[in-house]
Amino acid sequence: MYLRLNGKKISILIAQNTRERFLGLMGQRHFQHGMLFCKCNAIHTFFMKENIDVIGLNERNEVIFLYENLPKNRIIRVFNPVKKTCILELPAHASHTISLGSILFFESEDII
């Protein structure tokens, strides 16, 4: 799936198992994709190689919190029920046009 931001199409990976949820974008450099953690209300940036943008979404994909250019060695916790919260990690500064209350629309890949 992907997200259109600032005229760009950003590929979004979904963390689907424990390993993917644990690793996230850890250790990656120069990535141009994002990662979505569903049913999640906390993340960390330990062992990250680059700063990231972190966006919290409620069950309607409405932005409930936003950290742009978040450095490594941080813990982010959202005080929203875990079943109703997703966290989206993006490359640093990718979210500069997003604001609290925005609704994000994810699109599936084009099938030809």
Note the pLDDT of residue 79. 83
Q: Domain locations in the chain?
A: 2-97
Note the pLDDT of residue 112. 56
**CATH number assigned to the domain with residue range 2-97, chosen from the 4 options 2.40.37.10, 2.60.120.1140, 3.30.110.30, 1.10.260.40:** 2.60.120.1140
Q: Are 85 and 37 in contact (CB under 8 A)?
A: no
Note the pLDDT of residue 45. 93
CA quadruple 93, 97, 61, 8: dihedral sign: negative
Mean pLDDT by 10 residues, the chain (112 residues): 89 94 89 94 91 95 95 89 91 94 88 57
φ/ψ (deg, to 5) at 106: -90, 140
